[in-house]
Amino acid sequence: MANNQKVNIDYDKIAEMESFKKLTKKKNSFLWTMTVIFLAAYMLLPVLTSYTQILHQKAVGEITFVWFYAAGLFIMTWGLAHLYVGKANSYDKDAKAIIEEYERGVGK
């Protein structure tokens, strides 16, 4: 399709496509899973430090496990961001394929 060509896209028709529904379900499943994991790990820190003594024990010298857990949260955040970028790129490819599928269907 040429860049100067105006395209009318029926977004409702795309939303009804099975491939779009599969992509949406796959994307939402990934995002909700990552959100739950992140929030659970994040909210567990104040719970473990306030209501238990697990993280108050010394791990290395005078350093307690709470420092390792907190550092792990930073590492987890960067890791989840890296994972999200990779997944988002694959979702972009899937979305492009859906648009191409739609355009082929419109041409028929």
- pLDDT exceeds cutoff 90 at 5: no
Provide the pLDDT for residue 59: 93
Mean pLDDT, all residues of the chain: 90
Q: Where are the domains of the chain?
A: 57-108
What's phi and psi for 59, nearest 5 deg?
-105, -55
* Predicted confidence (pLDDT) per residue in 20-41, tens digit: 999 999 999 999 999 999 999 9
DSSP bridge pairs for 58: 64
Which residues touch 101 (CB under 8 Å, ≥6 apart)?
17, 19
Whole-number Cα distances in Å, 80 to 16, 30, 43: 31, 11, 16
Which residues touch 44 (CB under 8 Å, ≥6 apart)?
none
